[in-house]
Structure formats: structure tokens, C-alpha cells
């Protein structure tokens, strides 16, 4: 689980390598547009995971279309927020997904409210307000709204996965990635985006296979022995490490503001409170 979180946290570094001619790492070619990164990222991840699917895994339910649509929106918004703005803001605001999922679970699925989740929601909303205020001050509000939208879309993916929990997780993961690539094809054709250079294509293969596909497999293995609450706590390594890797790649563009530090501390603190395992009271 920890290794999966570390690999997921590399998204900021990969994106900055592909979009900025960094003084630390550079590949000497024109930056790759955000839509092109979003396309190849999920395409190579889906192709990497496809061999894991078995014939008995394949099924279809209408909710899968909704899930794939939410995943496609999440993928595009997250990559655009990462490419146009701060990696710290992008990953922190995507991690607001559990808050929106909690609200939807109460209003849509009719689940009872929970004290720990309610406290995490209030604290997390405070963190979002701080980051939005900082974006307002630094003329980055549009990018922050995009990143926040990726968190809302991610919550939609999680809710759909909950509804589809009896379907094969391998099949659902492949559907999400390959359908996300498919829906981007018309946009790439319309904007006539150039193909990436060979060096960039190699990085995109690693982006999809190592940063996306491999962590999904590791999490599936880890969840056999780790509780969802403990898994949620361990994967908080991702938003902590993601800005660090991005800063090491592009230090001139990735210095988090005081608003990001304060808002991120509130969001991660609320999530830690929500996911931190509690010992049950001893029974007689």
C-alpha cells in the first residue's frame, strides 16, 4: 500500500517533465499539451492492465457508462490542473473526493451521518476555503476550480464503484482507463495535436504503466490483508510526496504558497482523522 502511494505521487513529477523545460530535468523538446498527456496516460495504463482481465470478469451494466464518464472527466481535469498550476493544489483538491462522496452517500444513498466523517468534512471544507482564497490572491482561481472539479469527479467514480462492487474490479479498472482514452480521441483530432517525440512517448509509457497501472495492482493485493481505514491512512502519503517530487523536477515553478500549506494541512488533517484506525472497546 505504501509503495502504491509513492508511485501515485509521481504524477506531478511526470507532468512537470512533460510540460516544463526544467533546469533539473529536461528532454529538449516542445512541451506536451495537457490533453495529450491525459490521453496517453490512461491509454498506456489500460493496455498494461488489460492482460489481467479474465473472460469471467467481463460484464456490462448501465452504471458503468456513468463511472467511465466520471473517470474521464477526473483524468482530464486533474492533468490540466497539474500542467497549468501547482502540483500541490491539484493533488490536495483531488483528495477532497471523500468529502463529496460522504455528502452524496447521505443525500443519494440514504446512509446515516457519521461523527468522524462529519468532523473531517468541516475541517476539509475549511482547507478548501483557504486554498481558494490563496488562488484568488494569486490569479490562479480558474486552475483551482479545475482541480476541485477533479475531486468532485473522483467522488463520482468512487460512488459508482460502490454501486458496482459485485463486478470485477479488474474489469472496472480497465473500462475506466480505456474509455477515458477513447473519449479524448475526438478532442485530439479536433485540435490537431501533434504526436509526442519518441523521448516523450517513452515517458508517457512509464507514466501510464508505473504511475497508474502498477499502483492499482498493488492496492488490490494490499487490500487482501489491510483494512480500508488503514489503507486510506497509508495512501495519504501521495498528497504529501507529490508536491515534493514536482518541486525537485521544477523548483522554479513549484514553490507552494502559505495558503497551500495551511489549506493542505486542514484537508489532510481531516482525512487522517477520518481514516485513522480506532481500536474497538474490549468486550466482556
Q: How far is CA 67 from the centre of its chain?
A: 15
C-alpha cell read off for 98: 471523500
pLDDT given at position 139: 55
pLDDT given at position 158: 83
Residue position matching grid coordinates 491525459: 38
Whether the predicted pLDDT of 277 surpasses 70: no
What letter would DSSP give residue 213? I
pLDDT given at position 45: 94
Q: Tell me, yes or no, whether 28 lies in a domain.
A: no
* Strand residue runs (E) in the chain: none
Buried-exposed string 4-42: b where 16+ CB fall within 10 A, e elsewhere: bbbbbbbbbbbbbbbbbebeeeebeeeebbbbbbbbbbb
Q: Tell me, yes or no, whether 27 lies in a domain.
A: no
Residue position matching grid coordinates 463486478: 167
**60-111, pLDDT tens digit by residue?**
999 999 999 999 999 999 999 888 888 778 888 888 888 888 888 777 767 7
What letter would DSSP give residue 19? H
- Residue 47: enclosing H or E segment and its boundaries? helix 34-49
Print the domain residue range for 117.
2-18+33-275
Q: Tell me, yes or no, whether 67 lies in a domain.
A: yes
Q: Tell me, yes or no, whether 225 lies in a domain.
A: yes
Under 8 Å between Cβ of 25 and 255: no
End-to-end CA separation in angstroms for the chain: 34
d(CA 34, CA 57): 32
d(CA 185, CA 183): 6
d(CA 50, CA 177): 10
pLDDT given at position 79: 92
Q: Is 197 exposed, middle or buried (0-12, 13-18, 19+ CB in 10 A)?
A: middle
pLDDT given at position 220: 75
Q: Tell me, yes or no, whether 58 lies in a domain.
A: yes
Backbone angles phi, psi at 113, to 5 degrees: -70, 150
pLDDT given at position 256: 72
Q: Tell me, yes or no, whether 23 lies in a domain.
A: no
HSE-up of residue 7 (Cα within 13 Å, Cβ side):
18
Domain count, the chain: 1
Once rounded to an integer, what is the mean pLDDT over residues 167-192?
91
Q: Tell me, yes or no, whether 280 lies in a domain.
A: no
Q: Tell me, yes or no, whether 95 lies in a domain.
A: yes
Q: At 228, is the secondary structure helix, strand, or coil?
A: helix
Question: The pTM is what?
Answer: 0.83
**Got the DSSP string for 169-208?**
HHHHHHHHHHHHHHHHHHHHHHTTPPPPPHHHHHHHHHII
Amino acid at each position: 500500500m505504501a509503495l502504491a502511494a509513492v508511485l501515485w505521487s509521481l504524477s506531478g513529477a511526470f507532468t512537470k517533465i512533460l510540460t516544463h523545460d526544467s533546469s533539473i530535468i529536461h528532454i529538449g523538446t516542445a512541451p506536451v499539451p495537457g490533453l495529450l498527456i491525459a490521453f496517453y496516460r490512461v491509454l498506456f495504463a489500460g493496455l498494461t492492465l488489460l492482460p489481467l482481465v479474465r473472460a469471467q470478469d467481463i460484464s456490462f451494466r448501465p452504471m458503468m457508462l456513468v463511472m467511465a464518464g466520471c473517470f474521464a472527466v477526473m483524468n482530464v481535469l486533474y492533468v490540466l490542473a497539474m500542467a497549468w498550476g501547482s502540483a500541490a493544489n491539484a493533488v490536495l483538491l483531488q483528495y477532497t473526493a471523500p468529502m463529496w462522496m460522504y455528502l452524496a452517500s447521505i443525500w443519494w444513498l440514504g446512509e446515516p451521518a457519521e461523527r468522524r466523517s462529519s468532523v473531517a468534512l468541516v475541517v476539509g471544507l475549511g482547507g478548501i476555503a483557504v486554498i481558494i482564497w490563496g488562488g484568488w490572491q494569486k490569479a490562479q482561481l480558474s486552475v483551482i476550480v479545475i482541480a476541485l472539479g477533479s475531486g468532485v469527479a473522483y467522488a463520482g467514480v468512487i460512488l459508482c464503484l460502490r454501486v458496482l462492487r459485485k463486478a470485477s474490479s479488474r474489469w472496472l479498472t480497465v473500462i475506466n482507463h480505456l474509455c477515458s482514452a477513447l473519449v479524448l480521441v475526438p478532442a485530439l483530432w479536433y485540435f490537431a495535436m501533434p504526436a509526442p517525440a519518441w523521448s516523450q512517448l517513452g515517458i508517457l509509457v512509464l507514466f501510464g504503466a508505473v504511475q497508474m497501472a502498477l499502483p492499482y495492482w498493488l492496492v488490490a493485493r494490499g487490500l487482501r490483508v489491510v483494512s480500508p481505514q488503514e489503507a486510506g491512512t497509508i495512501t495519504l502519503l501521495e498528497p504529501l510526496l507529490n508536491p515534493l517530487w514536482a518541486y525537485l523536477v521544477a523548483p522554479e515553478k513549484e514553490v507552494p504558497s502559505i495558503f497551500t500549506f495551511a489549506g493542505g494541512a486542514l484537508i489532510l488533517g481531516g482525512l487522517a482523522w477520518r481514516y485513522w484506525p480506532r481500536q474497538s472497546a474490549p468486550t466482556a
